[in-house]
Structure 1
């Protein structure tokens, strides 16, 4: 969202006049949510997300209502039949910023239709280790990719005058220990790896930031003045407000001094404790004034902005948004293997659909990102809807290997649906700690970080049993992150990563399997050959150290070949890359590459640009992603992917001098379809002094 400078100045002058007229009690009252526990315990049967929550703000003096809040990385979390999009990690695999902008806009429309003013939908925590339970809520392992996708979601959401929240600042990537773990990270690694995507969404105008539960370098994130004040507010010039994560995100009134503006969901510390801290001189009242200014600044900006359209409850879960969810699912699915079995013929073949997830509504985590859509198309339902009249279709959804094999051997092709559910990964719900009403011991400990990256053993047994019949087999994998496949991948004729694909996921899957469209997703993370190749991870850790390397940067440094590289994805057609060219125009590097669709089918290709740092005199990754373009090409069509790079794409952070520096060395610029298939520009780039 942008605001004219005149409007900005008007609001600031109004706040100059208003804030001094408010009492300390009135100002502190804006710095927390209200009435959450009243509804949660007495009305809502201990169920989270059944209503919009008062999340602070508001001012009776100017007739401004409090913030009305809901969660929503994959859709607005209210029980009103809202649209369920594929999880963020799936959408990260689309590499489609235009699509993500449109999804953000749709989320904003539904939020406005339901009376919301604040939507917590932009999760951009970096995937350091794929065992992280909430990996499905973010976009991948690379800071640049995270920033571009997150910025698109911010801009789309805020185009409907709904404030977006970027979360969780910062280094939040262990779930089970999130309330206690202390992440030790160098200033350079923090700046180069764990913060660039947050800066990108701040630069895109994100109105609010949510602090993380964990500690960074000895301070809880809501109390971390270096993160919230030194970097976010002072250095980056963030004009919005920071609010805490819910229930256990704040530990004292001193968080206000550190830069926290709102405590959610209730004034545990930002109530009488904060008033007392100001009166006793422990906290400067100017800190309260600044927080109130930031809150009211955003509320006035958004409440006064002209709406691009009108809003109605008919917008919620509407047909247009369902079509958008289908498009997202189609663009997200990643073809990982294909021994000339896909696409399937629409008629003539006998097909069996197998697996316990084949006809299960499996949309992802049941924590704060949960969505209750008006309907959901399962894989089996999607396949039946598309081709049931044209082929002999049979199914077994018991998950029993013997029954599946018996059915498979009487068919030409077996489509096997395997993977995870919300019990296996997601937000950690340890009973009362998360204030959720649960139904039994198993449900009380659902989700959280994974102990293994392998498929559940029952799924592996199913795959092996079907493979033993000799029937051609397509394995479709559901999940929110990297899943190792070495123990069974050789048995499959094709493998398709379908994620938690949203309410139209079954429709999208069928269209890809039967060739209505070509798969175009690319992995937003690396899949290791062995889990031992990954960084250290302990889901119960009290403390852990994060360094510069993870994912493809770690594999590059250690000369390790992953099972599947970052950016990888197959297609039903063939894309040919020309030689990339590099041209300097003023202080911008312009990189172009021609890409031709040499196949017989229309398709989309994601061209990826990396900068190589092989000539660096300091320790740096061998290469880093610095650009990507998604091109839709008809058979025989050629298009040019164009990238622009400025100096910031080549700089590194110097801790001693507290600045970014560009070394006078030649940099390599590489372009290709995946991180392991890159063509270098013929000339290296040396920036002029």
Structure 2
């Protein structure tokens, strides 16, 4: 990594010692810089000729922007990604949506610390690992990189990752904003009303800003007709003026900058990762006065201030490369994977539930095309290459060395049926891989003209697009065409369950997979996600009962895709409103297959709301939780609110807390509540006030379908409830 010496190093030391604040340190550095060096802060340092090599170089070294060796300024040294460091060989954690299923911000903060350490050990100082785009529809190709469909869950988990990452490197949150379509991500225009924008799609971004995130990455898409890099209403009016964000904004890569001057004026500070639009246009624009020098200095100050401040507040000694994929980080990856697995179904088969597997199991059949594969997720910019991986089959063989395990891919259905018929219990591992979903390799609408006249005129445009289309034959990725399993997987499940009723189905994937065609045939069903490098060990631990299935759904799993918003991956324009996910099912009266927040364990746990304190800034609820089963177990206490004056109340998550209890134990758990879902914003004043309605509160183990036992939610000045009585009248 570039040495932080010279004037930059002295500035960092002075800020660390309290002799200088970061703003003055940035100004002192700017005073020593030439115009060329100043403009060099505002885009990547790599020449545009490296564009075809980005996929190759991304996993070999940091991408640098704004380095000034003469002054010792190291620049922004970029690394992705959401499930681990993409440079070199690193720990592969479960994908973000799997970690969301843990509902455990403290665990996510530990993941952030590990990612930050490994990022710094690889020579980077900036990690784009925090993705908080809302899952509006599970067909979104990059669903695996987000925290699910709920703003409160997303905000808390994203904030936790941010706090962990920035202990060692600058943390970047992406993709701001309203980015949840993949195939047309470069061109799609999102129309959104004021209330939905501020009350649904932005609160989790603000939560991460409040958690101290250093940088924001602007999205490719347009919002209300304007590309995000030139979208002043969001980049400046909201992000900076309303929220008080003081860090710097970078573009999404290559095609995320559309105008050198307008993007700078709108509040986008750094074009990443190459010298493209700004290198071509800004010097002349500055010389002619088309962009004010003050505008250039404003962005330069944001970048240098953030860089100096972070370097001054992190530990001086860098981590050793030995910690990369170390035993401690592998153990963390294992624990997260185990706690993310969602047990959706576990019927009694014989004298007991099918899971965990009986200790005296003698013969197990493990079947499915994904059983013997280490399936870590998509092969786009977030791809991590760990030193080793563990498939479900390998994990089971290592966990059950005395058990006879036979295996087949299921491609030959007759062989699969024979294996299933001969075994006591069958584990079928099916689902998705990088060909079914992930970052899109190509989109035909991309404006390659940003690369220069040769691309815009057509001489190089056609070869570039042809190359991208060719690549898509090898790794398709992109948005999903269907929420169902592949037909071959469905046929396999039907064939196996016809000959062995003791069948467990394990689903691998990055979002919702419909189960209506076959779920009634299967006594046990788990969602195991893309579980990272230790995913096979974690799955085996859950199947055998060594570990509790600790996951809870971070989205609703419907019975029919028609119960979700429409999704057209080829559309150039979309409308985002406040009807999506569990909330849409609630409002329309559709029962889900499995509700938001659902997940079973290996014990039984009860909970009861005792009391709550609440106003328009938030509050807390005390919930009595009791383990009524015969083994240790965990649950996620979830507190919801709804306007019960509506014919169909729509549940809004306010807070949650994970708790583990011994058999027979009880504990009073205090859950922090977020007022946001009960408030509405006044666009004129930017102020927030309680939303009208008869609001009630309920503690539950998943999104509730009934509000009969709910308590009235107390706002300041509202009626006061004590022991089920409101102002002397029974509730």
Q: Which moved more, 1:146-155 or 1:16-25?
A: 16-25
TM-superposed deviation, 1:645: 3.7
Q: 2:271 aligns with which of 254, 257, 263?
A: 263
Matches within 5 A, 1:376-391: 376-389=389-402, 391=403
Q: 1:297 aligns with which of 295, 305, 308?
A: 305
**2:105, 2:441 → 1: CA distance?**
32
TM-superposed deviation, 1:655: 3.0
Tell whether 2:47 aligns with 1:30: no
Matches within 5 A, 1:181-200: 181-200=188-207
TM-superposed deviation, 1:610: 1.3
Q: 1:142 aligns with which of 145, 150, 163?
A: 150
* Per-residue CA distance 1:369-405 (angstroms, 9 max, x = gap): 100000000000000000022x221111243222100
**1:59, 1:319 → 2: CA distance?**
37
Matches within 5 A, 1:104-123: 104-123=112-131
1:373 alignment counterpart: 386
Tell whether 2:82 aligns with 1:70: no
1:428 alignment counterpart: 440
2:715 alignment counterpart: 686
With over 3 angstroms needed to count, the CA separation of the structure-2 counterparts of 1:37 and 1:359, relative to structure 1, is: farther
1:487 alignment counterpart: 517
**1:569, 1:677 → 2: CA distance?**
15
**1:149, 1:462 → 2: CA distance?**
36
Residues 119 and 164 of structure 1 are in contact (CA less than 8 Å); yes or no, is this contact kept in structure 2?
yes
TM-superposed deviation, 1:53: 3.3
2:219 alignment counterpart: 212
Q: Which moved more, 1:167-176 or 1:32-41?
A: 32-41
**1:443, 1:666 → 2: CA distance?**
54
Q: CA RMSD in A?
A: 2.5
Residues 555 and 596 of structure 2 are in contact (CA less than 8 Å); yes or no, is this contact kept in structure 1?
yes
**1:46, 1:587 → 2: CA distance?**
45
Tell whether 2:570 aligns with 1:540: yes
TM-score (norm 1): 0.94
Q: 2:27 aligns with which of 16, 26, 35?
A: 16
With over 3 angstroms needed to count, the CA separation of the structure-2 counterparts of 1:312 and 1:353, relative to structure 1, is: same
* Per-residue CA distance 1:289-322 (angstroms, 9 max, x = gap): 1110110011101222241864111111111100
With over 3 angstroms needed to count, the CA separation of the structure-2 counterparts of 1:598 and 1:605, relative to structure 1, is: same
With over 3 angstroms needed to count, the CA separation of the structure-2 counterparts of 1:621 and 1:302, relative to structure 1, is: farther
2:650 alignment counterpart: 622
Matches within 5 A, 1:39-78: 41=52, 47-60=56-69, 62-78=71-87
Residues 199 and 677 of structure 2 are in contact (CA less than 8 Å); yes or no, is this contact kept in structure 1?
no
TM-score (norm 2): 0.89
2:187 alignment counterpart: 180
Q: What runs of 5+ residues in structure 1 fail to find an aligned partner?
A: none
* Per-residue CA distance 1:564-594 (angstroms, 9 max, x = gap): 1100001110001124322469976431111
With over 3 angstroms needed to count, the CA separation of the structure-2 counterparts of 1:439 and 1:263, relative to structure 1, is: closer
SS of the aligned residue for 2:525 comes to strand
Tell whether 2:405 aligns with 1:393: yes
Residues 361 and 424 of structure 2 are in contact (CA less than 8 Å); yes or no, is this contact kept in structure 1?
no
TM-superposed deviation, 1:550: 0.5
Q: Which moved more, 1:458-467 or 1:61-70?
A: 61-70
TM-superposed deviation, 1:615: 4.4
**2:356, 2:529 → 1: CA distance?**
19
Q: What runs of 5+ residues in structure 2 fail to find an aligned partner?
A: 1-13, 348-352, 449-463, 719-731
1:556 alignment counterpart: 586
Residues 40 and 48 of structure 1 are in contact (CA less than 8 Å); yes or no, is this contact kept in structure 2?
no
Q: 1:317 aligns with which of 308, 322, 325?
A: 325
SS of the aligned residue for 2:108 comes to helix
SS of the aligned residue for 1:580 comes to strand
* Per-residue CA distance 1:171-228 (angstroms, 9 max, x = gap): 1000000011000001111101110000000000000110000000000111110110
SS of the aligned residue for 2:433 comes to coil
TM-superposed deviation, 1:8: 9.8
TM-superposed deviation, 1:57: 2.8
